[in-house]
Amino acid sequence: MTSPQHSIIGRQPVVNGKQEIIGYEFFFKNDRHGDHAPFAEDIQTCARILSTTIDEMHESWLLGQQLAFINVDHIMLNSDFLALMPAEKTVLELVRQMEVTPEILARCQALKANKFRLALDNPQRYPQLEALLPLADYIKLDMREVDMATAQAWLKKYQTPACTLIAERVEQNAQFTSLQEIGYQQFQGYFYARPENLNAKVINPSFEGVLHLLNLVSQEADNKTIENGFKRDTTLSYKLLRYINSVGFGLSCEVQSIGHALTILGRNQLYRWLTLLMVTAGNNSTSPALMKTSITRGRLTELLGEPFFDKNNRDNLFVVGVFSLLDVMLKLPMEDVLEKLQLPESIMEALTKREGIFGPFLKLTEACEDANSDQILQLADLLHLNPDKVNQCHMEALAWTEALGV
């Protein structure tokens, strides 16, 4: 009897020059024969997974104006499954091995007529793709070990009013800045989420206020003390009322006072909300992509642990996911960040060592981000989670973050 084949979904954001997420590239890998490489021969399975997920989630799948970049080979390009995808939100990224035949050209023209967009993968290295240049809406260019003179030459060669270049594999902020200065406008890579030169960063009063309130909640202070903590900072009070009245929290009535908000939210929800606020507090120095990534981490970590923990510990999982990028946001080592927070030992252990009861769930979340199928399958097995369930949680977490409107 053969074991079932599992297809794993990973993702990576595509951002603009303001580090706002404009779309996600979705990666699909499988575990058949122990092969974790992207699999062209079964790419229809990939389409079915994503289209079924979108179909099942209906209105909760809120890409908004964002795009889904999906790798396609000649099999998927000609597949009826493409009809299940939302054409105006889908960018078909033609794999570099694509043989460009007259039939492929005709199919690409037909798909564009149906409002799909096309992306080419590094045509400077794969000359056969150049025949598709007139049809390309996006061209992705791998920037690993590329000097600025070469990057500028590619810009002049490929960018047109109808075609946008995406600099991919950008892992350092300095490289992002240099590419932006010479004219690149869209980027892919985790440059915004990689710690660089961790120097002490002054935490502004609003951030200090959030830390103070988090600690009050952790110490089970009474509502009046917590309410006074909010009243010391007008910005915090405004943000609390704005967030609690947003559609993302699903409340049926408008909340108009801090006391009312505290009564309705309860301690667990307040703690959870403060965790979100910590990400968005301050002087907006955190990039939008990093902020969204941290919130999605929180929700995905929570969803992965949902079958195993009670409500209180699920809230802790959410905190673990969101706080896992605080060192990058504050440009401080995680140990220094956590000195200011009085968190349970189980959370501290997950954040500093990726260990303890929450550690494996955070590691699985991070593996989903990196499309690390080896680690996804290993951790899913360790946690007795079906990989299809991991995929479902991943897509739900993305939709939830979009619904918050952050």
The list of the chain residues with pLDDT below 50 reads: 1-4, 32-41, 56-62
Is residue 332 domain-shared with residue 272, that is, in the same domain?
A: yes
* Final residue before a domain boundary, out of 142, 173, 193: 193
CATH number at residue 134: 3.20.20.450
Q: What is the pLDDT of residue 36?
A: 40
Is residue 300 domain-shared with residue 379, that is, in the same domain?
A: yes
* Final residue before a domain boundary, out of 165, 193, 221: 193
Q: What is the pLDDT of residue 113?
A: 96
Tell me the pTM: 0.76
- Alpha carbon distance 364, 366 (integer Å): 5
Total number of domains constituting the chain:
2
> 310: domain range?
205-404
Tell me the C-alpha to C-alpha distance, in Å, between residue 9 and each of 76, 227, 334, 363, 394.
17, 43, 29, 15, 8
Report yes or no on 220 lying in a domain.
Answer: yes
The pair of three-digit structure tokens given for residue 293, joined into one six-digit string: 């990534």
Do the beta carbons of residue 20 and residue 289 sit within 8 Å? yes
Q: What is the pLDDT of residue 258?
A: 73
Q: What is the pLDDT of residue 63?
A: 55
CATH number at residue 302: 1.10.3210.10
Q: Alpha-carbon dihedral of residues 392, 395, 397, 403, nearest 10 degrees? A: -130
Report yes or no on 380 lying in a domain.
Answer: yes
DSSP class of residue 287 equals -
Q: Which residue has the tokens 């595509």?
A: 14
Is residue 103 domain-shared with residue 209, that is, in the same domain?
A: no
Report yes or no on 12 lying in a domain.
Answer: yes
What is the SS3 assignment for the chain? CCCCCCEEEEEEEEEECCCCEEEEEEEEEECHHHCCCECCCCHHHHHHHHHHHHHHHHHHCCCCCCEEEEEECHHHHCCHHHHHCCHHHEEEEECCCCCCCHHHHHHHHHHHHCCCEEEEECCCCCHHHHHHHHHCCEEEEECCCCCHHHHHHHHHHHCECCEEEEEECCCCHHHHHHHHHHCCCEEECCHHHCCCCCCCCCCCHHHHHHHHHHHHHHCCCCHHHHHHHHHCCHHHHHHHHHHHCCHHHCCCCCCCCHHHHHHHHHHHHHHHHHHHHHHHCCCCCCCHHHHHHHHHHHHHHHHHHCCCCCHHHHHHHHHHHHHCCHHHHHCCCHHHHHHCCCCCHHHHHHHHHCCCCCHHHHHHHHHHHCCCHHHHHHHHHHCCCCHHHHHHHHHHHHHHHHHHCC
Is residue 76 domain-shared with residue 185, that is, in the same domain?
A: yes
Q: What is the pLDDT of residue 101?
A: 93
Q: What is the pLDDT of residue 58?
A: 46
Closest CA to 16 of 67, 87, 91: 67
Is residue 76 domain-shared with residue 136, that is, in the same domain?
A: yes
Report yes or no on 2 lying in a domain.
Answer: no
- Alpha carbon distance 48, 60 (integer Å): 18
Q: At what angle do helices 359-369 and 345-353 cross, to 10 degrees?
A: 40
Is residue 172 domain-shared with residue 95, that is, in the same domain?
A: yes
Q: What is the pLDDT of residue 251?
A: 63
DSSP class of residue 160 equals B
Q: What is the pLDDT of residue 4?
A: 45
Is residue 371 domain-shared with residue 234, that is, in the same domain?
A: yes
Report yes or no on 1 lying in a domain.
Answer: no
- Alpha carbon distance 374, 381 (integer Å): 11
Q: What is the pLDDT of residue 361?
A: 97
Neighbours of 53 (CB within 10 A): 19
Report yes or no on 199 lying in a domain.
Answer: no
Do the beta carbons of residue 97 and residue 42 sit within 8 Å? no
Report yes or no on 358 lying in a domain.
Answer: yes
Report yes or no on 84 lying in a domain.
Answer: yes
Is residue 130 domain-shared with residue 212, that is, in the same domain?
A: no
Is residue 121 domain-shared with residue 49, that is, in the same domain?
A: yes
Pairing of strands 67-72, 90-94: parallel
Do the beta carbons of residue 75 and residue 40 sit within 8 Å? yes
Is residue 181 domain-shared with residue 217, that is, in the same domain?
A: no
Q: Which residue has the tokens 């967030």?
A: 243
How many residues are there in the chain? 406
* Final residue before a domain boundary, out of 141, 164, 193: 193
Is residue 345 domain-shared with residue 212, that is, in the same domain?
A: yes
Is residue 332 domain-shared with residue 355, that is, in the same domain?
A: yes
